[in-house]
Structure 1
C-alpha cells in the first residue's frame, strides 16, 4: 500500500469557485470543498464573512465581489480563529474586524502555531504565503450577540454565539429578513468535519440544536455547497450531527474498553468511510479528529495546541 500524502499536501488542483447571489445584496463564494466566504450589503457599506488564508487569495474573492458592489467593507466578521479563515484579513481594509471574545483569546494563545500548522497541512490555500503581514487581531469582540443594522430596508445581521463546537469561539451570522445563515465550520454541507480543536459533546447537542432552531431557509456552511430550502438546511445540520455522533460512539467504545488510539482511529475510519469517505478532506482531518476526541474522553478539557511537529507525529501514528 502506498503511503498517504500528509494531510492535504498533495491536493494541488485548483477548485472551481462559484459566486452565488442568495438574496438582494447577500453573496456566497463556494469552491468544491474549499473554505466558503460571504458578504452582505448594508445601505452604504459591506459586511464580509471570513477572510481566506492570504491577502492574495482574499483579493481574488474581492475582485469577484466588486463585480456586484463597490461599497467599502465596514465589518470583516471572522467565525473562528483558524489560519485559513483569517490571515487574508489585510486585503479587506475593513474598519473593524469582529469575532467572538474567545476567538481573540485563542489567537493570542495559539495563533502562531496554528498558522504554521495549517499552511503545512493545506499549502494550496496558502497562496503567496509571504503576503500575510502577521496574525489577524479582532478589534471588536462580544460574548453572546452583536447586531449590525444594515440600514434602509435591509434589516439587520445578527452575530450569535451558540456554544462551543468546532472551536470554543465559533460565531454564526444570521439574517432574519432573508432567513439566511452563515454557519462557519459549525455546519458542513457534504464536506468532512475538522474537529481537532472541537468540543464534540457540546457541538453535537446544544450548539447544533440552537442553530437548527433558527429554521433557516438557506445555509452557507464552512465548506460545501450552499444549502437551499428548509429540508436541505436541516439535512446539512443532521449530516454534521451524524458524523459527530458516529465519531463519538466509535472512539468512545474503544476508549471505554481500554484500547489504543490507533484502534480508535481504525474503528472510526471503518464506520465513517462508506458514507463520508468521498467528502473533501476526509482523510486529511480524521486523524486529528480522533486524536482530539480521544483527549477529550480522557478528561483533557481544552484542545492541545497543534504544531507542525505534532501534526506529523499524529499523522505518522494513525494515517500511514
Structure 2
C-alpha cells in the first residue's frame, strides 16, 4: 500500500469522558472513538454498544462502577460493526439484543468486517486476543421492542436505514433521551461505507420528531439540550448530503471513482476536514456514494483486500 490509512497511524490514547445525559443515563465518550451508553434501571443496567474489545469494555465498566453497583443484565448493540460489538463478552450480560437485520449482517459479513476493521484500527484492537469470536445476540426484533429494567421502560426501535441497513436506536422515555449509534455523530465524520445515503436524512428526521432532550451519539460529545441535539442532527444530514451529491454527479455522468473522490473533497474538506476520523472515512464514503448512485442498493462487503485495493486506486 502506497500510504497507510489515516486510522492506522492514530495510536495516541484518547481522553475518556463520562457524561450524565439524564437521570441514571450516561454517555462514555473518547474524543471521536466509538461511544457507549449506560442505562441504570431499578435493579440492573443496560449497556448500549460493547466497544471493540474486552479491554476497552472494561474501561466502560470502570466508569459504570463509579455510579452504580447494580449488575449489567442487558447489552444492546445498534448495528453489527466490529468496533461496536466485539467487546461484548466482558459485560457478562444475560440478554444481548440486536435488530434482526443486524444479526443477518453478522451472518453475511461479520467476519469480513472484523478482518477489515482490525487492519484499519490497530489502536482500538489492542488486546484483541481476548475476543472469543463473533458476537451473537440472544434476542432480536424487527421494528420495535420494549425492555423493562424494573419500572424503567426502554424502547428499542428500527426507524430506517442510515449508517447500515439494520440500525436501531434506544429511547428512554422517562427522560426523553436517545442512544442513536452512528446514525448521529457530533464533530465526527460519518462512516458511510455500509450506509444508505438516500434514506439517512429521513431517518434523522424520524429521530428529530421525538423532540429529544439529549442524545448520546455514535461518536463525539454527548448532546445535552435541544439546541445541541438539533445542531447535531443538522450537521449529520449536511455531512451525508455533501458527500453523496458530488459523488453521484460524477458517477451519473460516467466519471471515475477518483474523479468522485476529488469532487467530494472539494465539497467536504472546507466544512468537515477537522472532524474526527474524517480522513479515514473519506475513501469508504466516496466508494459507497458512487455505488449507490449507480443503483447498487446493498453495500458491497468490505474486506481487508478490498480496502487496500480502494486505497491504492485513490493515491494516483
TM-score normalised by the chain length of structure 2:
0.97
Counterparts of 1:294-305 in structure 2, within 5 Å, are 294-305=290-301
Alpha-carbon shift at residue 150 of structure 1 (Å): 2.6
For residue 123 of structure 2, give the secondary structure of its aligned residue in structure 1. Answer: helix
Equivalent of residue 312 in structure 1, options 308, 311, 314:
308
Indicate the residue corresponding to 1:73 in structure 2: 72
**Residue 281 (str. 1) matches residue 280 (str. 2):** no
Indicate the residue corresponding to 1:184 in structure 2: 181
Describe the superposition over 1:147-180 as per-residue Cα deviations: whole angstroms up to 9, x where unpaired. Answer: 112324xx31111101111001100011111111
Structure 1 unmatched runs, 5+ = none
**Residue 209 (str. 1) matches residue 210 (str. 2):** no
**Residue 196 (str. 1) matches residue 196 (str. 2):** no
Indicate the residue corresponding to 1:266 in structure 2: 262
CA distance in 1, matches of 2:65, 2:3: 40
Alpha-carbon shift at residue 23 of structure 1 (Å): 2.4
CA distance in 1, matches of 2:88, 2:30: 19
CA distance in 2, matches of 1:197, 1:22: 29
For residue 178 of structure 1, give the secondary structure of its aligned residue in structure 2. Answer: coil
For residue 19 of structure 2, give the secondary structure of its aligned residue in structure 1. Answer: strand
CA distance in 1, matches of 2:284, 2:138: 30
For residue 27 of structure 1, give the secondary structure of its aligned residue in structure 2. Answer: strand
Alpha-carbon shift at residue 319 of structure 1 (Å): 4.7
CA distance in 2, matches of 1:26, 1:241: 26
For residue 170 of structure 1, give the secondary structure of its aligned residue in structure 2. Answer: coil
**Residue 257 (str. 1) matches residue 253 (str. 2):** yes
Structure 2 unmatched runs, 5+ = none
Counterparts of 1:101-180 in structure 2, within 5 Å, are 101-152=100-151, 155-180=152-177
Would the aligned equivalents of 1:100 and 1:171 in 2 still touch at CA under 8 Å? yes
For residue 193 of structure 1, give the secondary structure of its aligned residue in structure 2. Answer: coil
Alpha-carbon shift at residue 253 of structure 1 (Å): 1.2
Describe the superposition over 1:263-317 as per-residue Cα deviations: whole angstroms up to 9, x where unpaired. Answer: 0011101110111001111111110011011111112110111000100111111
CA distance in 1, matches of 2:15, 2:137: 30
For residue 28 of structure 1, give the secondary structure of its aligned residue in structure 2. Answer: strand
CA distance in 2, matches of 1:188, 1:242: 11
Equivalent of residue 225 in structure 1, options 202, 208, 221:
221
CA distance in 1, matches of 2:315, 2:36: 30
TM-score normalised by the chain length of structure 1:
0.96
Alpha-carbon shift at residue 7 of structure 1 (Å): 3.8
**Residue 95 (str. 1) matches residue 94 (str. 2):** yes
State the Cα RMSD in Å: 1.1
Would the aligned equivalents of 1:26 and 1:39 in 2 still touch at CA under 8 Å? yes
For residue 190 of structure 1, give the secondary structure of its aligned residue in structure 2. Answer: coil
Alpha-carbon shift at residue 4 of structure 1 (Å): 4.5
Aligned residues: 315
Q: 1:191 to 1:319 in 2, by over 3 A?
A: farther
Would the aligned equivalents of 1:147 and 1:158 in 2 still touch at CA under 8 Å? yes
CA distance in 2, matches of 1:46, 1:163: 26
Alpha-carbon shift at residue 9 of structure 1 (Å): 0.3
For residue 205 of structure 2, give the secondary structure of its aligned residue in structure 1. Answer: helix
For residue 181 of structure 1, give the secondary structure of its aligned residue in structure 2. Answer: strand
